Structure 1
């Protein structure tokens, strides 16, 4: 069929060449030259399209199919990458959630340790405070006892000194002699009992 179309076009072309050269500029077979040119352009376009379809249809279709498959594969790859990225994002979000939980558990753990240490420190401070108070109380009692002893010794010394002064004023030589004899008499009796 295409051979017939090519033959018809060739015949029309030949007829055009054989046409009257004197009227070649204005009409061809009674048709205006511009219309005739337009018709030949359409015919040439039709022939070109026929050959293109005839000889390039399969390669063009195969090319377009291959290209469509390539594009489909690219889209499929992009879809797989998108799904992989979504999975990765979900995994990272899960890890972040776990990380928040871990941070909270670590914070709670260290808070608990801090509370325990605080209680230990407070207990140790209380024990130390009691020990210091006990030591201070013992030291104060010891110093009080020593002060009492010193005070007693001073009071006794003062009493003795005062008594001595009074005795010196009130005891005469006669009284001293009587006291000495009474003392010696007591010594003699003690000696007699001992033997």
Structure 2
């Protein structure tokens, strides 16, 4: 498609050159005829027309030569601006995406903070309950230990008291016996005890 358009432009350019050459040739012939007749007004007019035609031809060729570079330049600039606009739009989209991601992270951070607060609160409650339970168990253990120690002390006190009472009763009984039994009775008791020992078989001792 581009090749066909290029050929059309080339043909148009050649036709234009031929037309201008033909017009120029006719004008030159007319100018020569006028000079032979001795008239010069046509020459002046034709020179002006020819200057205009030369300017138009020059302008046309300049336009043809400059149009493509200028077109390419502006197309390049347009494409560059489009790319920059696309990049700016892409950067804007990326910035929006990053902003949404940051906002999402902040929301997740808030949820994480709330979860941590709940976890810390739950751990604190469980720790408090454990401390209370441990304190109750310790108190029960100490009470039980104190009760056991008290019972042991009571038993030991009763045993010591019983021993003291027994010892005191024995002492009082001995004193009473000593007072009631005379010396002769003591000798008699000793003799009876010795006789009893003599009657006991030796094998049983």
CA-atom RMSD in angstroms? 2.9
* Greater displacement, 51-60 / 68-77: 51-60
Match 1:166 to one of 149, 167, 172 = 172
Match of 1:77?
83
Match 2:100 to one of 90, 94, 116 = 94
TM-score, scaled relative to structure 2: 0.58
Residues 49 and 152 of structure 1: CA distance in aligned 2, closer, same or farther (over 3 Å): farther
Once residues 123 and 153 of structure 2 are traced to their aligned partners in structure 1, the CA distance between those partners, rounded to angstroms, is: 43
**Cα deviation digits, residues 109-162 of structure 1 (max 9, x gap):** 022112111211221121111111101111110110011000110011011112
The count of corresponding residues between Structure 1 and Structure 2 is 136
Match of 1:108?
114
Q: Compare relative contact order (CA 8 Å, sep 6+) and give the higher one, 1 or 2.
A: 1
Structure 1: which 5+ runs fail to align?
8-47, 178-195
Q: Does 1:53 align with 2:53?
A: no
* Greater displacement, 67-76 / 164-173: 164-173
Q: CA deviation at 1:60?
A: 0.5
Q: CA deviation at 1:62?
A: 2.5
Match of 1:117?
123
TM-score, scaled relative to structure 1: 0.61
Q: Does 1:129 align with 2:135?
A: yes
Structure 2: which 5+ runs fail to align?
1-19, 29-53, 186-205
**Cα deviation digits, residues 27-75 of structure 1 (max 9, x gap):** xxxxxxxxxxxxxxxxxxxxx9777534232120232122112211110
